[in-house]
Structure 1
Amino acid sequence: MKVVVIGGTGLIGSKLVEKLKAHGHEAVPAAPNTGVNTLTGEGLAEVLQGAVVVVDVSNSPSFADDAVMEFFRTSTSNLLKAESEAGVTHHVALSVVGTERLQESGYFRAKQVQEELIKESGIPYSIVHATQFFEFVKGIADLSTEGDTVRLAPVRFQPMYSDDVAAAVGRTAVGAPVNGVVEVAGPEAFRLDEFIRDALAAKNDPRTVVTDPEAPYSGAPVEETTLLPGPGAQLAETTFSDWLAQQK
């Protein structure tokens, strides 16, 4: 089965392409550096010829509110139009657990628009909501840093290994469209502020993590369960300690 992976040369996309090929599928990475640009439409018609499934794991190069909205609105619209013309029968997109609860964030408003475009397209679809990746610990801290202080709310989150994310997206891609959302998460829940504090200390990062119940996450207010998946989520196997051991 031909599966085109939009964003197929990035962190998740490259792992996904590898996993799909290992299972005998024709997995084609599509990204600007392979001649496919969803913002301009360049190369889309050509790469989608014969494709049964399209998986979109791309992300905006800029997280500024206007830029990220333009990226997801334009790229998703172009992609869905090209898929319709090519006869693609399953559109899979990677999104984030809690997207609908983080709408005061420009990034998550843009992700919500992406999801709505997919739902309204008429193409059978599956949207995978994943929790934060272990690899994004520094990025989460950076978003909440002022000077040498990192302000984080004492809320729960359930991060996971990017390899497990790619595996979950792959399973979804080769299955029947669910025409809804599949949630995936790590096997353990942590308190966000404590987790980031310990992670930065382990890397000898000199920043101080301050617990602040009013601190936003990516610009949006968060409550205790905002970042957690629902009870039906698929749980990955790799723990944070397992992942850390792999990094050495």
Structure 2
Amino acid sequence: MKFTVVGGTGLIGSQVVRMLTEAGHEAVPVALSTGVDVITGKGLDEAFQGADVVVNLTNSPTFDEASLDFFRTSMGNLLAAGEKAGVGHQVILSIVGVDQVPALDYYRAKVLQEELLQQGPTPYSIVRATQFFEFMGAALSWTSDEETVRLPATPIQPMAAADVAAAVAKVAAGSPLRGIYEVAGPDVFRLDELGKVTLAAKGDGRTVVTDDQAGMFAAVDGDVLLGGPGAHLAPTHYRDWLQQAR
């Protein structure tokens, strides 16, 4: 099969392209750097020509209210170009619990993206994944200083980007689900606890202070970011990943 992977040069996209190629498929990465603009639509018709499946891994450049316009416009352009090209399956990557955190603009924007795909003309699949291990460093930086890192006690179930990519590649190579495939990490942590594990592994002597008003995840209530009963569990454990990263 031929796959067009939009956002195919990024953290997840580059791995999806490699995995699909290794499985014997033709996987073409497209991005701004290859001349394709999902906002203006430039290059989409050419990029989708002959594609059986479009995997959409584009992401908004901001996490604020502007992300709503990004996903509204990009999803509309991708669906229109896909229908024109006769694409038989559109796949997007979303977030576990995304519809349970209305206080976050970015999460509302991802819900909008899901809804546009579901209402669109093409059979679809949605892969919802939990937070990536690779983003832990950013989460630590949001509310930190030279002495402390302030983090809420939000329960999360993080996973490796490579495991996210594997889930996306698997779903993309299958029949359209017309629904959601949920994947989560093998272990549940509180975010403040995960911060302590991360700092210890890196030899960082700062103190983690539990602050349920700190950072983006302070807007999350309860355990909505954890995989549900039917979630597929990824194989890579955070502590193992940390050790390999060192």
The alignment partner of 1:75 has SS state of helix
The alignment partner of 1:15 has SS state of helix
Please state if 1:191 is matched with 2:185: no
Find the counterpart in structure 2 of residue 7 from structure 1: 7
Q: Give the superposed CA RMSD.
A: 1.7
Instruction: Kindly provide the CA deviation profile for residues 111-158 of structure 1, in whole angstroms up to 9, marking residues without a partner as x.
Output: 111111101102111100000111110112233447864332223211
Instruction: Kindly provide the CA deviation profile for residues 64-93 of structure 1, in whole angstroms up to 9, marking residues without a partner as x.
Output: 322x12211111111111001111111100
In structure 2, distance between residues paired with 1:30 and 1:211: 41
Structure-2 change in CA distance of 1:147 and 1:95 (3 Å) = farther
Residues 154, 217 of structure 2: 8 Å contact kept: no
Residues 163, 236 of structure 2: 8 Å contact kept: yes
The alignment partner of 1:196 has SS state of helix
In structure 2, distance between residues paired with 1:86 and 1:61: 27
In structure 2, distance between residues paired with 1:78 and 1:220: 33
In structure 1, distance between residues paired with 2:56 and 2:29: 10
In structure 2, distance between residues paired with 1:90 and 1:196: 39
Find the counterpart in structure 1 of residue 62 from structure 2: 62
Residues 192, 208 of structure 2: 8 Å contact kept: yes
Find the counterpart in structure 1 of residue 31 from structure 2: 31
**Aligned-pair CA distance for 1:223:** 2.6
Q: How does 1:54-203 map to 2 (within 5 A)?
A: 54-66=54-66, 68-145=67-144, 149-203=148-202
Structure 2 unaligned blocks of 5 or more: none
**Aligned-pair CA distance for 1:35:** 1.0
Instruction: Kindly provide the CA deviation profile for residues 8-34 of structure 1, in whole angstroms up to 9, marking residues without a partner as x.
Output: 000000000000000010000010001
Structure 1 unaligned blocks of 5 or more: none
- The residue identity in structure 1 corresponding to 2:22 is A
Indicate the larger mover: 76-85 or 189-198. Answer: 189-198
Instruction: Kindly provide the CA deviation profile for residues 181-233 of structure 1, in whole angstroms up to 9, marking residues without a partner as x.
Output: 11001111111111112213432445542212x32662662233121010100
Residues 79, 121 of structure 2: 8 Å contact kept: no
In structure 2, distance between residues paired with 1:94 and 1:237: 19
Find the counterpart in structure 2 of residue 246 from structure 1: 244
In structure 2, distance between residues paired with 1:195 and 1:155: 10
Indicate the larger mover: 133-142 or 215-224. Answer: 215-224
In structure 2, distance between residues paired with 1:199 and 1:102: 25
TM-score (norm 2): 0.94
Structure-2 change in CA distance of 1:206 and 1:70 (3 Å) = farther
Counting matched residue pairs gives 246
In structure 1, distance between residues paired with 2:220 and 2:64: 20
Indicate the larger mover: 2-11 or 132-141. Answer: 132-141
In structure 2, distance between residues paired with 1:226 and 1:30: 33
Indicate the larger mover: 136-145 or 227-236. Answer: 136-145
Find the counterpart in structure 2 of residue 227 from structure 1: 225
In structure 2, distance between residues paired with 1:43 and 1:148: 48
Find the counterpart in structure 1 of residue 41 from structure 2: 41
In structure 1, distance between residues paired with 2:17 and 2:114: 22
In structure 2, distance between residues paired with 1:166 and 1:63: 22
Identity %: 52
The alignment partner of 1:63 has SS state of coil
Residues 131, 159 of structure 1: 8 Å contact kept: yes
